[in-house]
Structure 1
């Protein structure tokens, strides 16, 4: 069997890497079988090593660099096909997009796979079955993850770090090293079994033992940090007149356009019923993004009498809606904060817009061939730009709309006085797929990185109250409707991950180590 694999270019370069990529989805939510990555990374490394070794005989008359690239590319196609196929579900809501489903399902993974292709090309060129090659392999794949998270509009989806989301003690390190630093360490951990196949067994066992010591020390650190935090939170008490409750609403409603006036009124009444307002209790209600899809703020304001009737001066309501952007044809995707009289207290306009979902790249050209953004309306939303936090009572709230939660730089660059994150989302676009599960896992990471509570309200997604250590305190699943509520303690935000410096320090350390070993090896020659 091994001989068949070794002598088959189709298996080595295409089918096996592709299968490993498909298998990788099991490492992420909702499966969270982290252990599969301890198989995937060693196998991918050994394939690249074997292809390079064969380059001087079996592949010598063929462009072996192309083969190295294709190994990573095939892996990438499988990775993104299995991990992001749910995106195509959003194209089923409007029949004019049906023909684009194969494009989303096939061409998007084929494009994103280029990143892994370049990572395997760079690392594969140097790979041998030695320790230095493992370091090069790790730095290449962690660097390419960083690049794909930043280039163009950025797409930091399913970084390998996220496969640890259920191991809450382990990921407490995020607050110190950040997402990309932790991602590099995660890949390093997944590559650990490779040392069992290398020479110098004694040295390798020492390295494995030392890394396992660090791993379990980190687990103990995370466990102590969580326990200490829970004690501190339990000691936070407020006077009765200072108590403010946050109530997150999950309506579980279907996406529908062109509602009649009666239907729109019933929708608002339904949201109010789920909110269960108590007139004498200070409460901030958080409704999800997308419940008013297809309508703008002025449309909803016509129902202000419903808000005046059901809410009191002690109430504030947060919800997502389209808002006019100055010119009649310009709209923002916005999060607004209103009082019981439907007076706008604050408005946040989304910064990170979804390509093709909320804006159409090269709009002037693509509109001529009949393309438009997936959400209702032909015009693209406009970018919100830099904005301040939402200030309400003693809370300095960082608002994030939908997939903005996947970008760590938005929390890193938030004002120093930020003490709460509110994320509203519309996950009905992705049906009963793995998409909402993966989306939710990013909220847990942002909570730990920023050392803040994250309040998430999602329609047909996971609505949750996540504490500053990433523990899910209360939640509603995508199929549940209703509300969850809690008094949110004010958190000192002085301890948070503020930049990607640690990632670059680790990356430089790895690269410096490679050069040091290479220099010593050349001196011995």
Structure 2
């Protein structure tokens, strides 16, 4: 654990180190430098979020998480684009030191403030229109379970029965009510999906054929005599028959897999999560389509920090009724981590224009609407259940259609602006040298 805590931040710091070295070569008291500074850092943060496994944690754009009005624009331009614009806005005090004509400073400063005001008014207008009003709802309910079970309890296999009973107690199944239960990630770390049938009796007595249970469990598979373990999400019925499953394809470095594992294992290092062997990576994320006599719904599965990737959670741009995010946030300990993790879900809801059901153990569970409003929430370190109806709402956002291509367009606009201001600044310098 201490090794990962040191190495991961050290790796992430490389990007800011590179940025600082480049900026040192071009630093100047000019408007073009403000734009160049913003552009360079935003591109480096994009690379940080995508290179290798990617880790877009705590982008500058997340500093707006206190204002839903300001971040509504990400449904159009996405988080990376807001990141770029935010860097420019936060750099405005530098304009006091810019050496150019006062009217140009004033114009640049005023333009950004007007842009910011327009963005806020847009967000205010979007939020003033009740999204859930007069929208038909699905004929089932969703129950999001937040058990708040200490991580140490999962280390003892004899605790499985106790954990299951607590989850069922919080679920409070009603036999005659169609319900989708969403349990957190990793609720059965000591058994594999293929072994879950041993709990058939407990489940069949508690649940009815009107129920679906979504849960996090490890999946063991053999291919060509090679053993692979996957961090998985499974959807089962009351008899523990497997309806569908998903294998996590964005794994946490050092948390779920050990980079260069064969070398690190020689010195006794292992991944942080339960078990010695690294998890294998799932190949793709497909929408889970459940279509039977009781349910007709399309679900997009996300496990843990897969929720943090702007523009990469639904790459195939498939229609979705609900994004479900299951997580185990106990690894953060008593820190700001669970709050930061939860905020990423709000941003993804706005970007994708979808409802998100988030079930977290030792974290914040919630039901979030497509505007990022928290309709219901269970606080950190609380156990409880969210009961929610799911509106039949499907309205793709501009960002959900085009993704991070929009960020590429804004990069081009910034480059053009940099060249424009460079030209203006060069002409000013020529005039000054002429009068001298």
Same fold (TM over 0.5): yes
Output the aligned Cα RMSD: 1.7
For residues 182-197 of structure 1, what are the structure 2 equivalents within 5 Å? 182-197=82-97
1:190/1:463 CA distance change after superposition, 3 Å: same
Secondary structure of 1:345's partner?
strand
Counterpart for residue 433 of structure 2:
none
Q: Is 1:386 matched up with 2:280?
A: no
* Distance (Å, rounded) in 1 between the aligned partners of 2:37 and 2:146: 44
Candidates 156, 177, 186, aligned match of 1:259: 156
Counterpart for residue 427 of structure 1:
329
1:304/1:197 CA distance change after superposition, 3 Å: same
Counterpart for residue 158 of structure 1:
58
Q: Is 1:292 matched up with 2:196?
A: no
Secondary structure of 2:189's partner?
coil
Counterpart for residue 78 of structure 1:
none
Normalization by structure 2: what TM-score?
0.92
Candidates 122, 133, 153, aligned match of 1:234: 133
* Distance (Å, rounded) in 1 between the aligned partners of 2:4 and 2:256: 15
Counterpart for residue 408 of structure 1:
310
1:169/1:123 CA distance change after superposition, 3 Å: same
* Distance (Å, rounded) in 2 between the aligned partners of 1:364 and 1:514: 47
Candidates 85, 99, 115, aligned match of 1:214: 115
Deviations 1:86-111 (A, max 9, x none): xxxxx3xxxxxxxxx1x334443333
Counterpart for residue 30 of structure 1:
none
Q: How many residues align?
A: 419
After TM superposition, give the deviation of residue 257 of structure 1 in Å. Answer: 4.1
Aligned 8 A contact 2:154 2:160 in 1: no
Ranges in structure 1 where 5+ consecutive residues have no aligned partner: 1-90, 92-100
Q: Is 1:125 matched up with 2:25?
A: yes
Candidates 242, 245, 258, aligned match of 1:347: 245
Q: Is 1:369 matched up with 2:267?
A: yes
* Distance (Å, rounded) in 2 between the aligned partners of 1:383 and 1:235: 42
After TM superposition, give the deviation of residue 243 of structure 1 in Å. Answer: 1.6
Bigger helix fraction: 1
1:107/1:351 CA distance change after superposition, 3 Å: closer
After TM superposition, give the deviation of residue 518 of structure 1 in Å. Answer: 2.9
* Distance (Å, rounded) in 2 between the aligned partners of 1:178 and 1:394: 30
* Distance (Å, rounded) in 1 between the aligned partners of 2:231 and 2:336: 25
After TM superposition, give the deviation of residue 523 of structure 1 in Å. Answer: 5.8
Counterpart for residue 344 of structure 2:
442
* Distance (Å, rounded) in 2 between the aligned partners of 1:284 and 1:425: 17
1:264/1:416 CA distance change after superposition, 3 Å: closer
* Distance (Å, rounded) in 1 between the aligned partners of 2:7 and 2:217: 31
Pick 1 or 2: higher relative contact order, CA cutoff 8 A, min separation 6: 2
* Distance (Å, rounded) in 2 between the aligned partners of 1:494 and 1:442: 19
Ranges in structure 2 where 5+ consecutive residues have no aligned partner: 431-436
* Distance (Å, rounded) in 1 between the aligned partners of 2:34 and 2:164: 57
* Distance (Å, rounded) in 1 between the aligned partners of 2:427 and 2:119: 37
Bigger strand fraction: 2
* Distance (Å, rounded) in 1 between the aligned partners of 2:256 and 2:6: 21
After TM superposition, give the deviation of residue 437 of structure 1 in Å. Answer: 0.7
Aligned 8 A contact 2:230 2:279 in 1: yes
Secondary structure of 2:128's partner?
helix
After TM superposition, give the deviation of residue 188 of structure 1 in Å. Answer: 1.0
Counterpart for residue 358 of structure 1:
256
* Distance (Å, rounded) in 2 between the aligned partners of 1:513 and 1:412: 32
Q: Is 1:488 matched up with 2:390?
A: yes
